[in-house]
Amino acid sequence: MIIEVIKSKLHRVTVTEANLNYIGSITIDEDLMDAANLIEGEKVQIVNNNNGERLETYVIRGKRGSGAICLNGAAARKVQPGDVVIIMSFAHMEFEEAKSFKPWVVFPDTKTNKIIK
């Protein structure tokens, strides 16, 4: 049996920009992408803690060290700069493998989006 489990999670990052006039996606600081084991083009689910919105899009690489979390295109209508969001990706795996799988979970500083060490 194949099940879907959480693979990666950026827990409580702050939206730095919302760019309606850009082809859809979410721009994420490359440092955050690396820490959460996310790759460019990967599908993610975004949960907005400020207004309850949920949406799916794909990742594009942001400038390393910038703290960028920018919702682009139509997704920009679902957030405001300053909103706190959770970004998650999921993976399909065998049930037995999923029992021992450990996701990459990152808890950045919500003011700077920098990784807390």
- Sort strands 25-29 and 54-62 into parallel, antiparallel or unpaired: parallel
C-beta of residue 34 within 8 angstroms of C-beta of residue 91: no
- The angle subtended at Cα 110 by Cα 18 and Cα 71, nearest 5°, is 15
- Dihedral of alpha carbons 98, 101, 104, 107, sign: positive
Catalytic (active-site) positions: 25, 58
For residues 90 and 105, what is the distance between their CA atoms, to the nearest angstrom? 12
For residues 115 and 103, what is the distance between their CA atoms, to the nearest angstrom? 16
